[in-house]
Structure 1
């Protein structure tokens, strides 16, 4: 059975708004490598549309930043599964709308995926944590206090105990904390 890995950037004060931090080339390289190892990434409508508006354009018109260009290629290539009640058509290549409810879609992916898969939308991360379906959290904490913005863990329904299994420190001061749920229920 493959793992569902929640991977997200956040400020020191828990804000997960992409405008609150500026990942450098080293962080982008990390996420490029991660995406190349995965079978798919799950998005909600808001994050999908945010990404769809930026990354495909960078693939077509590369920047002077090679790490950013490499990430654009990786995120463009990985299959994207989008959960939305309002979208009925997706433009970004390698994107599809989820065919089942979140719980059922993830359980199916855990059984049939050939590699681990990811979730990168704050709302979906919380929904999946509330369903006890996240196998690993990879939280990249950036050395910035945003002061305001969307907090990642605002809507957790109950206490979640986690075990820190690894860390990765970047020269920018960002650090990825790798957590696994403790005593997650068997599905």
Structure 2
């Protein structure tokens, strides 16, 4: 049985904004290793389109920044599953559209053998939190306060208690990954 893991970047004040963080070499290396250990990553349409519009181009035309270029290859290689009501097809390598509802698709993925499944979209993280399907949360908190934007847990209306299991600090950027498990 595979674990379902929320893995996302956020600001100190809880907003998901890919332009607010500090994605330096150390953070790119961490996420490259994470992707190499993943059986799949789940995206919603918006996050998928953000990633798909940038990373395949880096694979074709490397930047010269080793950490970024390695990340581009890792994200291209990992199987990606996109949940969308509006997309009819996807073109990025190793990507497919989910064909069933979120709960059904994720429960089947969790029952399979193999590497863990990661979720990298704020909307999906909120929806899967409501469904109580996560085995772990990995929140990379960047030392930035933006004051506004897309809150990570915007639709959660009830208290959910998590247990801290470890943390990982990045010296160069000051970001910290906080690892939590549901107390269930």
Same structural fold, with TM-score higher than 0.5 when normalized by the shorter chain:
yes
Q: Give CA-to-partner distance per residue, 1:125-159, whole Å, 9 cap, x none.
A: 00000000011000000111112211111111321
1:106 aligns to what? 106
Structure 1: segments with no counterpart, 5+ residues? none
> Secondary structure of the equivalent of 1:132?
coil
Separation in structure 1 between the aligned mates of residue 150 and residue 122 of structure 2, nearest angstrom: 9
- Tell me how large the CA RMSD over aligned residues is: 0.8
> Secondary structure of the equivalent of 2:19?
helix
2:183 aligns to what? 182
Report the alpha carbon displacement of residue 36 of structure 1 after superposing the two structures with TM. 0.3
Structure 2: segments with no counterpart, 5+ residues? none
Report the alpha carbon displacement of residue 169 of structure 1 after superposing the two structures with TM. 0.6
Alignment of 1:1-187 (within 5 A): 1-171=1-171, 172-183=173-184
* Normalised TM-score (structure 1): 0.96
> Secondary structure of the equivalent of 1:180?
strand
> Secondary structure of the equivalent of 1:40?
strand
Q: Is the 8 A contact 1:2 1:110 kept in 2?
A: yes
Separation in structure 1 between the aligned mates of residue 113 and residue 37 of structure 2, nearest angstrom: 12
Separation in structure 2 between the aligned mates of residue 121 and residue 30 of structure 1, nearest angstrom: 18
> Secondary structure of the equivalent of 1:123?
helix
Q: Give CA-to-partner distance per residue, 1:93-141, whole Å, 9 cap, x none.
A: 1000002110000100011141111000000000000000011000000
Report the alpha carbon displacement of residue 17 of structure 1 after superposing the two structures with TM. 1.1
Separation in structure 1 between the aligned mates of residue 73 and residue 174 of structure 2, nearest angstrom: 26
Runs of 4+ aligned structure 1 residues displaced above 3 Å come to none
